[in-house]
Chain A
Amino acid sequence: MKSMKSKTELKTDITIIFAGDSGDGIQLTGAQFTNTAALLGNDISTFPNFPAEIRAPQGSLAGVSGFQLRFGSIEIFTPGDSADVLVVMNAAALKANLPQLKKGGTILADAEGFDLKNLKLAKYPEGINPLKDGSLDQFKLYELNISKLTRNALEGSGLGTKEIDRSKNMFVLGFIYWLYTRDIENSLEYIKEKFKTSPALIEANSKVLKAGYYFGETSESIFSRVEVKAAKLEKGTYRNITGNQASALGLLASAHKSGLKLFYSGYPITPASDILHELAKNKNFGVKTFQAEDEIAAISAAIGASFGGSLGVTASSGPGIALKAEAIGLALMLEIPLLIINVQRGGPSTGLPTKTEQSDLLQAIHGRNGEAPVAVIAASGPADSFDTIVEAVRIAIEHMTPVFFLSDGYIANGSEPWKFPTIEEVAEIKTSFARQRSSEDPKFLPYKRNEKLVREWAIPGTAGLEHRVGGLEKENETGNISYDPDNHELMVKLREEKIASIASYIPLQKIDSGANSGNLLILGWGSTYGAIKTATLKAIGQGYKVSHAHIRYLNPLPLNLGDLLIRFDQVLIPELNNGQLIKLIREKYLIPAIGLNKIKGLPFTTEEIYTKIKQLSTQRSEKQVSIQG
């Protein structure tokens, strides 16, 4: 080996994709690197992409699990359009992820994953090995013997071949740490914690991690190391967080601020289950978690808890939300607080369980029988899930209504740095229960409303408040069953007005980037925030007159939204669906908004949005020229 030392190159940001079999520990490798990068002060954004099957046939294309992460010394809003580095454990992983690699990008491949069996499973034609046939010449290809090097490192450890092979992800991690000038200490600590019941596994995994790192050191003539310095983020203390974690923490914080007991019930469903897992771990906060027998039971139990004066919450994804529809209608008739979390995924029906989509917006707004309005609010990213869920709870309690909180698979599993607040900094939530009454007091009227059109929360156990509620239409104020035609119309209008009037208690819509008026406004909602923001900033940098506004409050919409929209010549609405927000905007504001729709189970790339901005801006100026000419 030559003694020449390679230089360390400085970069502003790097995108890596780790890919392998769903049993290769790819997600763990990605998460570990993410944490370490975050601890070093990089801005980060991650995008895990895994199959629905737990263990699809080994080596097959269906079984490829990927973890994309971007870290940088600059502010980052997306996990990157394409990767600088692709780490693949087998042929299928290469085939599935190669289109995501930049021209001239680096491929690190485990040679053993490209044997005849794996090539066949990846459906490469007989006799073709992409590592050997020159088809990857436009990339920097490094073939490593990861499996073999791992086995060498663990020779004599007493572990079986299967167990040894399972730790090859640690070799990859160690090597990548070296490549990006990271320290392995954080992951060594993690290994100690994770395998605390098995000293043999602690030793083995630590050894392989170190072996990966040392492999880098001893082969540094071949690889050039890359350094990405800390990002200049807003001052403060940060942690890394996924959307589902932030949602769970938001719930615990909301319970704390509102003084209510949190009751969370759910039925296992991808990608919402992690919220249940996260809360079940934190029983010391007094949260009661309930794994129900089905989706309907889950929401019904949450309704029971809310009726009793707890903060009732249920979460699911599209198919489960469909099952909950009738019960949501009940909750809005009862006029009790209830939070319904929809971590959206590809639909319809079972659809694409592990892929992301924004196609349940209209379901949230309209998906019930009868005239059944509820408040709807959406998070724009992993960290934003925290603040948004606190807002959702505030609206539910202060306005006595079911509230939909929309997240999606991309937000739920993606992660980013979070400048977390202290509980004192979290917004207040005012809770009040109806007070007890004596026989001298006038009769309690359960559906008497205050100036916000909100009724009192009268919970069992309070003397003098005995009353009946239910799904049948009720008489105004008394809540007694009523089939009176005028009363029904009145109640429908009251319920509608009650939700509409929430608009007076939410912030006005702001422009996120760009001027307050101009040629083009990009109006987004939910998880498209990062891609739209990045594309908008790029376009502004290129001299385009474009602005970006991102809606958190989808029902009711902010009071100033209409005024804001008409200040722009064109409004572009990018959505990961076939056009849902655009229907609401066109209907309400009668403007010819333009859609940009992607329905591939994947997030927008910055480029896709940037291209559309360019196209619309160019058309616009050509049109103006032709009018003037």
Chain B
Amino acid sequence: MIDKKEMEKTFTSKELLTDQEIRWCPGCGDYSILKQVQTVLPELGLKRENIVFISGIGCSSRFPYYMETFGMHSIHGRATAIASGLKASRPELSVWIVTGDGDALSIGGNHFIHLLRRNFDVNILLFNNEIYGLTKGQYSPTSPKGQISKSTPVGSIDHPFNPLALSIGAGATFIARAMDRDPIQLRELLKRTHQHKGTSLLEIYQNCNVFNDGAFEVYTEKATKKEETLFLHQGAPLLFGSGHDKGIWLDGLKPRIVHLNDRSADELWIHDEKDKTKAGLLVNFFDDPSSINHFPRPFGVFYEEEKETYEDALNQQLEEAIKLKKADINELLRGRNTWEIN
């Protein structure tokens, strides 16, 4: 017999460690993400046995092996589809998808957009390092144009996906961006990701120090960070810059960068997570940081919307059908027209 009290005890971060040796390269951004997830999970009021991590293929997708929860390291691109079936059949589980830019946006692109439009209540942690790491350094669907990689020795010629714009276009009900080097915000956003009822997409900029080192350094390094990042806070004006002296002002539907010398803070764009139009503008703050007059890259929650989840709608249909007609398997086998042979 197992003591009930013991079963309901909240687990500790330590209990989330597995006996498996972690096989990511030393210095990989994945370590930080794993640490933040293990820190946050015990605070969410979940039972450990109700947590499931499902991943696809790639460096990030090794994640489930390092979490003492239920886990499945599945096949390339399909974690989103597998999670859909699990959540549809077991809505009470807390389902987390761990995926990368290649896994989610290239080979699994179809399942990714369809998961978002269906709005299952699951969490997607999209580790974006703008490179294929496990296959040793080919450009990915989020690599910037011109990326030099093993498969593009003179530079890639395709334009990258903007993952958050793609997501909002697919009907995502929660969109946020974090980075591996900002653990405090990452933990906060992991909590928000869990709290949202519906498909939550958290894109995490993750540094691959072996094949794409420094891809996000303008957002993480002291020298450039303040000028290049824009932290979103609900109800607060969009401010950035070394002295918090710059802001975003909306000229109709056209965002403009202004100096606080020219405009007061209350004239600025006030962040509203519920405003889809503004979210549509924000996800497009996606300029190459080397271009002139470019916008800073936003981090935080871009958008959140309450919408019926797929599993709720599915269960409701079932309940209504049951109310309407009692299930009688023998009657079903019998059908409507029968005849006797004597």
Contact = CB atoms under 8 A, between A and B. Distances in A.
A265 interface: yes
A596 interface: no
Contacts of A236: 340-341
Contacts of A283: 317-318, 321-322
Contacts of A468: 18, 64-65, 67, 70-73
Given A39-B337, A293-B110, A468-B72, A286 B88 contact: no
Contacts of B332: 249, 252, 282, 285
A2 B81 CA distance: 71
Contacts of A39: 337, 339
28 contacts: A41-B341, A231-B341, A238-B338, A239-B334, A283-B322, A288-B88, A288-B89, A288-B314, A296-B111, A297-B111, A300-B81, A301-B84, A301-B85, A307-B72, A309-B89, A436-B2, A437-B2, A460-B52, A460-B86, A461-B90, A463-B2, A463-B7, A463-B47, A466-B48, A466-B68, A468-B67, A468-B70, A470-B65
Contacts of A124: none
Interface string B192-213: 0000000000000000000000
A147 interface: no
Interface in A403-440: 420-423, 436-439
A480 interface: yes
B329 interface: yes
Interface string B159-199: 00000000000000000000000000000000000000000
A294 B339 CA distance: 41
Q: Which of B84, B93, B317 has the most CB of A within 10 A?
A: B84
A471 B88 contact: no
Given A282-B332, A468-B73, A438 B81 contact: no
Interface residues of A, number: 76
B122 to A, nearest CB: 10
A481 interface: yes
B211 to A, nearest CB: 21
Given A235-B342, A239-B334, A288-B314, A297 B68 contact: no
B329 A285 contact: yes
A314 B341 CA distance: 36
Interface string B310-342: 000010011001101111011011110111111
Contact of A466 (B20, B70, B92): B70
A241 B334 CA distance: 10
A304 B89 contact: yes
A237 B339 contact: yes
B78 interface: yes
Contact of A309 (B90, B114, B314): B90
A285 B321 CA distance: 8
Interface string B57-99: 1000000110111111111001001111111111011000000
Contact of A237 (B81, B83, B314, B340): B340
Nearest to B82: A304
B54 interface: yes
A305 interface: yes
A15 interface: no
Contacts of B266: none
Contacts of B69: 466
A301 B54 CA distance: 12
Contact of B82 (A300, A326, A438, A463): A300
Contacts of B234: none
A38 B47 CA distance: 56
A307 B88 CA distance: 12
Contacts of B287: none
A484 to B, nearest CB: 14
A420 B338 CA distance: 10
Contacts of A240: 335, 337
A241 to B, nearest CB: 8
B121 to A, nearest CB: 14
Contacts of B111: 293-294, 296-297, 300
Given A284-B325, A470-B73, A296 B78 contact: yes
Contacts of A38: 337, 339
B6 interface: yes
A469 B54 CA distance: 10
B224 interface: no
Contacts of B326: 284
Interface string A40-64: 1100000000000000000000000
A396 interface: no
A482 B320 CA distance: 48
B89 A310 contact: yes
A310 B311 CA distance: 15
Contacts of B67: 468
Q: Which of B6, B93, B327 has the most CB of A within 10 A?
A: B327
A25 interface: no
Contact of B70 (A186, A230, A467, A471): A467
Contacts of A235: 341-342
Contacts of B267: none
B49 interface: yes
A518 interface: no
B248 to A, nearest CB: 36
Contacts of B324: 284
Contact of B93 (A232, A263, A288, A461): A461
Contacts of A438: 2-3, 6
Contact of B88 (A294, A305, A420): A305
A234 to B, nearest CB: 7
B50 interface: yes
Given A461-B49, A466-B48, A471-B73, A297 B110 contact: yes
A466 B321 CA distance: 35
Contacts of B110: 293-294, 297
A470 B87 CA distance: 18
9 closest A-B pairs by CB:
A304-B85, A301-B85, A470-B73, A300-B81, A304-B86, A283-B321, A304-B82, A297-B81, A468-B71
A462 interface: yes
A463 B75 CA distance: 26
A593 interface: no
A465 interface: yes
Given A237-B334, A465-B70, 9 more contacts: A297-B78, A301-B85, A304-B82, A305-B86, A438-B6, A462-B49, A466-B70, A468-B73, A470-B64
